[in-house]
């Protein structure tokens, strides 16, 4: 397990979501998964989506997914973004906002608030609609005529505003405002947007095909 | 010279228009992207194709549309305007153009003129592409951040919705900012709009 992480630092963010702590010693992936009650094939599937942009799990792999584990993983990711990543960026941004002239500060503040709301809406939608629907499918007790297609089509892109913020910080905000802090934020945003990208891929390559296979 | 230079021809006579276009048939570096017989839809085509050269018959630029034409030249300042002269045209009008193609010019002469203009242009425009917004793009941006819809913008600026969309695409490409709220921040930082105009 340790070799896997050392070779792919992108995966670091993933462990808390599986309830795993670092300090793997020489335990194998299978051992660590077993210790934490995580299905090793599912764990590897997520790792693969994280590390290979063009990895698509086979229909057999998809069929083997445990819906509970999948939902749990996605919920944990949402929590992590909302409770850790975004507040972290916000804290840095607030320092910049305070240092700016009020006109620019207000505007940055408003921009970030809008972004946060957008992210929250996005997650709430999934938690209120998609995940319960998946549960109903699994229990063969579907109460709505909702289809995952609808979700797929409305799956809004929450990375756009993040890249906009990056552009604003790097290109457009006057140069003399908190240079160090700005770089901190830029690094954070980079990390967050890479992780959100992987998150979207997991939904696209695992969640959606899985639900579709149940719908069929 | 880059290999995909685009030309738009605006000429009322289909014979002349087809004739000029045929000169470039076998020339790989240049393609004729659009042929118009009136100037009404010119802005739309300019925005859509972003051509290198605009070959236009000055007869189409009557006195009442001259302002409009000058404005287009300013908005699309990277397009080289070339006059296609089929009958007598006042020298004052021809001053607006970088070069003049005469109705009696040989194929050789026309192609050489265009090639010279293109390579001159390349020398002066070595930078990848202007990232500054044109006047028209700025108009669209300002309307956009004030919360206007594409339809409202099209009515206000007298351009088609299609043109509005093309301008929006160019704005996104040039600023690197995709969301309206991001563009709002951009517009405020560049003093294109006032805070009070947006947040009501």
Residues B33 and B113 in one domain: yes
The pLDDT tens digits of the residues spanning B93-144 come to 888 888 899 888 888 889 888 888 888 776 655 455 557 888 899 999 999 9
pLDDT score, position B123: 61
Residues B100 and B175 in one domain: no
B191 found inside a domain: yes
Mean pLDDT across A168-193: 82
Identify the CATH number of the domain in which residue B163 sits. 1.10.10.10
Residue A12 CB contacts under 8 Å (≥ 6 apart), including other chains:
A5
The Cα B153–Cα A168 span in angstroms is 25
B199 CB-contact burial (10 Å; exposed 0-12 / middle 13-18 / buried 19+): exposed
Residues B20 and B80 in one domain: yes
The pLDDT tens digits of the residues spanning A11-47 come to 888 888 888 888 888 889 999 899 888 899 999 999 9
Domain limit, last residue, from B78, B99, B124: B124
Domain limit, last residue, from B95, B124, B153: B124
B193 found inside a domain: yes
pLDDT score, position A24: 84
Residues B162 and B68 in one domain: no
pLDDT score, position B190: 87
Q: Which of A93, A100, A105, A107 to mutate to test the interface with B (most CBs of B within 10 A)?
A: A107
**Range of the structural domain that residue B179 is part of:** 135-198
Cβ-Cβ contacts under 8 Å, B191 against chain A: none
Residues B79 and B46 in one domain: yes
ipTM exceeds 0.85: no
pLDDT score, position A87: 92
Shortest alpha-carbon distance between residue A87 and chain B (Å): 20
Q: CA angle at residue B53 from B52 to B58, to 5 degrees?
A: 155
Cβ-Cβ contacts under 8 Å, B188 against chain A: 103-104, 107
Number of domains in chain B: 2
Residues B23 and B53 in one domain: yes
Binary contact (A163, B178; C-beta < 8 A): yes
pLDDT score, position B142: 93
For residues B114 and B30, the answer to whether their CB atoms sit within 8 Å is yes
- Find residues 16-45 of chain B whose CB sits inside 8 Å of chain A: none
Q: Determine what percent of chain A is predicted with pLDDT higher than 70.
A: 98
pLDDT score, position A78: 92
Residues B21 and B98 in one domain: yes
B94 found inside a domain: yes
Contact pairs from chain A to chain B, CB under 8 Å: 53
Residues B119 and B47 in one domain: yes
For residues B9 and B21, the answer to whether their CB atoms sit within 8 Å is yes
B130 found inside a domain: no
The Cα A121–Cα A214 span in angstroms is 26
pLDDT score, position B67: 78
Residues B29 and B81 in one domain: yes
- Find residues 151-190 of chain B whose CB sits inside 8 Å of chain A: 175-179, 181-186, 188-190
Task: Read off the pLDDT band of A113 (50, 70, 90).
Answer: very high
B35 found inside a domain: yes
The pLDDT tens digits of the residues spanning A62-85 come to 888 888 889 999 999 999 999 988
B109 found inside a domain: yes
What residue segments make up the domains of chain A, in order of their start? 2-59, 65-215
Identify the CATH number of the domain in which residue B79 sits. 3.40.50.2300
pLDDT score, position B130: 59
pLDDT score, position B63: 66
What secondary structure letter does DSSP report for B134? Answer: P
Residues B149 and B191 in one domain: yes
pLDDT score, position B124: 59
Tell me if chain B has a CB within 8 Å of the CB of A163.
yes
Binary contact (B177, A104; C-beta < 8 A): no
B26 found inside a domain: yes
Residues B35 and B100 in one domain: yes
Tell me if chain B has a CB within 8 Å of the CB of A115.
yes
Please list the ranges in chain B whose pLDDT falls under 50. Answer: 1, 126
Residues B12 and B86 in one domain: yes
Domain limit, last residue, from B71, B105, B124: B124
The Cα B183–Cα A73 span in angstroms is 34
B184 found inside a domain: yes
Indicate whether A129 pLDDT > 90.
no
Mean pLDDT across A154-175: 81
């Amino acid at each position: 397990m340790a070799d896997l992480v050392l070779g792919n630092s992108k995966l670091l963010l993933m462990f808390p979501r599986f309830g795993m702590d670092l300090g793997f010693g020489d335990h194998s992936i299978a051992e660590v998964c077993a210790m934490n009650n995580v299905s090793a094939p599912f764990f590897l599937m997520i790792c693969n989506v994280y590390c290979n942009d063009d990895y698509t799990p086979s229909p057999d792999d998809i069929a083997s997914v445990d819906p509970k584990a999948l939902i749990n993983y996605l919920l944990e990711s949402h929590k992590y973004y909302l409770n850790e990543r975004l507040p972290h960026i916000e804290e840095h941004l607030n320092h910049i906002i305070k240092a700016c002239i009020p006109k620019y500060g207000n505007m940055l503040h408003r921009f970030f608030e809008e972004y946060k709301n957008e992210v929250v809406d996005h997650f709430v939608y999934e938690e209120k609609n998609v995940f319960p629907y998946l549960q109903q499918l699994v229990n063969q007790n579907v109460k709505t005529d909702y289809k995952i297609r609808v979700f797929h089509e409305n799956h809004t892109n929450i990375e756009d505003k993040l890249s906009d913020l990056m552009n604003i910080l790097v290109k457009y905000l006057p140069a003399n405002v908190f240079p160090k802090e700005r770089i901190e934020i830029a690094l954070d945003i980079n990390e967050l947007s890479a992780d959100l990208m992987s998150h979207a891929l997991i939904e696209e390559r695992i969640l959606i095909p899985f639900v579709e296979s149940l719908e069929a | 010279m880059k290999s995909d230079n685009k030309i738009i021809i605006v000429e009322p006579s289909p014979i002349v228009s087809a004739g000029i276009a045929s000169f470039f048939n076998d020339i790989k570096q240049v393609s004729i992207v659009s042929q118009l017989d009136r100037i009404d839809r010119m802005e739309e085509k300019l925005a859509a194709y972003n051509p290198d050269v605009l070959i236009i018959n000055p007869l189409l630029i009557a006195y009442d549309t001259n302002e409009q034409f000058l404005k287009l030249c300013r908005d699309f300042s990277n397009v080289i305007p070339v006059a296609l002269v089929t009958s007598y045209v006042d020298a004052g009008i021809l001053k607006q153009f970088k070069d003049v193609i005469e109705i009696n010019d040989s194929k050789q002469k026309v192609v050489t003129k265009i090639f010279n203009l293109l390579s001159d242009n390349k020398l002066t425009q070595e930078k990848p592409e202007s990232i500054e917004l044109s006047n028209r793009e700025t108009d669209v941006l300002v309307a956009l951040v004030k919360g206007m819809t594409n339809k409202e913008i099209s009515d206000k600026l007298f351009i088609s919705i299609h043109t509005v969309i093309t301008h929006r695409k160019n704005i996104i490409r040039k600023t690197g900012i995709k969301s309206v709220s991001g563009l709002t921040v951009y517009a405020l930082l560049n003093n294109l709009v006032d805070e009070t105009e947006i947040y009501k």
